[in-house]
Amino acid sequence: MTRAVLTHPRLVSLEGGEGAGKTTAIAAIRACLQARGHEVVLTREPGGTPLAERIRDLLLDPRGEKLEAETELLLMFAARAQHVRQVVRPALQRGAYVVSDRFTDSSYAYQGHGRGLDAEWIAELERRAVGLKPGLTLLLDLDVREGRARISGRDLWPDRIEREQDDFFERVRAGFRQRAAAEPERFRVVDAGRPPAEVGAAVDAALAAWLDGQA
Ligand code: Z5A
């Protein structure tokens, strides 16, 4: 049986590399949606439910045995399957907007482009375990070294993925940009190399224009 991945207009995702400024952007998205009278559910991946947050801890813990790329991918989708069923779909069904700090595009970028896993396998997991994708994805695009510089002062104890080398993050960034170019109707790319207030304003403008286009 062929399973489709349905685009949901009230599911909005935020993507980007490390230190891209997703926290500022999420505040701008929430303010813009609430000003229009919408209920907003903010969530994140990996995570978003108690079980998925425990999977997140496993994924990001730098201690212990090496996590194989395939294990990493399957854990990302285990967390996502739980998150979609317990949080995302119920919220969408009652009419709320769901704003997710990362969603399936991160798996294509990190596990596909970054780790070199087969995109067809990821697409199959997306069809079977997720079944929906955002109507709007805001990609905060930032130079890899700039992003690393931003978080270097913050993270005394970098997580497992943050310990990767620059070439890994360059592949991830290229992966995100490639996906944005392939689906221009879904993606809006925001230059995240500007000061926080400017990035927030650009996110707000992109979201407002997209919402006006839906009306
Ligand atoms: N991952 C995956 O591999 N596969 C998947 O399917 C999924 C995820 C879903 C955890 O995600 C990791 O999981 C992530 C991808 C992987 N690994 N990495 N790397 P996460 O989203 O929780 O982790 P993150 O991307 O590393 O978050 P982050 O580093 O916190 O990035 P951020 O949220 O975009 O940044 P921020 O907290 O808003 O800002 C970071 C710092 O930069 C902070 O000190 C700010 O004050 C500063 N900042 C922010 N904006 C600016 C501007 N505009 N100018 C100057 N300084 C700024």
Q: For position 87, what pLDDT does the model report?
A: 98
| Per-residue confidence band for 1, with pLDDT thresholds at 50, 70 and 90 | low
pLDDT in tens, 141-187: 999 999 999 988 776 788 999 999 999 999 999 999 999 999 999 99
Nearest C-alpha to atom 54 of ligand 1 is from which residue? 195
Q: With contact defined as beta carbons under 8 Å apart, do 134 and 8 qualify? A: yes
| Per-residue confidence band for 6, with pLDDT thresholds at 50, 70 and 90 | very high
Q: How many whole angstroms separate alpha carbon 29 and alpha carbon 208?
A: 9
| Per-residue confidence band for 2, with pLDDT thresholds at 50, 70 and 90 | low
Return the bridge partners of 98, or none: 11, 41
> Biggest alpha carbon distance in the chain?
51
Q: How many whole angstroms separate alpha carbon 103 and alpha carbon 180?
A: 14
Domain ranges of the chain: 6-214
164 lines ligand 1 (CB under 6 A): no
- Tokens 């996906």 found at: 179
Residue 215 Cα to ligand 1 middle (Å): 31
Q: How many whole angstroms separate alpha carbon 98 and alpha carbon 100?
A: 6
Q: How many whole angstroms separate alpha carbon 52 and alpha carbon 132?
A: 18
Helix or strand (DSSP H, E) at 146: helix 144-152
pLDDT in tens, 78-132: 999 999 999 999 999 999 999 999 999 999 999 999 999 999 999 999 999 999 9
- Cis omega (within 30 of 0) on the bond before 46? yes
What's 6-214's CATH class?
alpha beta
Tokens standing for 12?
A: 């909005």
Torsion angles phi and psi, residue 202, rounded to 5: -70, -40
Residue 2 Cα to ligand 1 middle (Å): 35
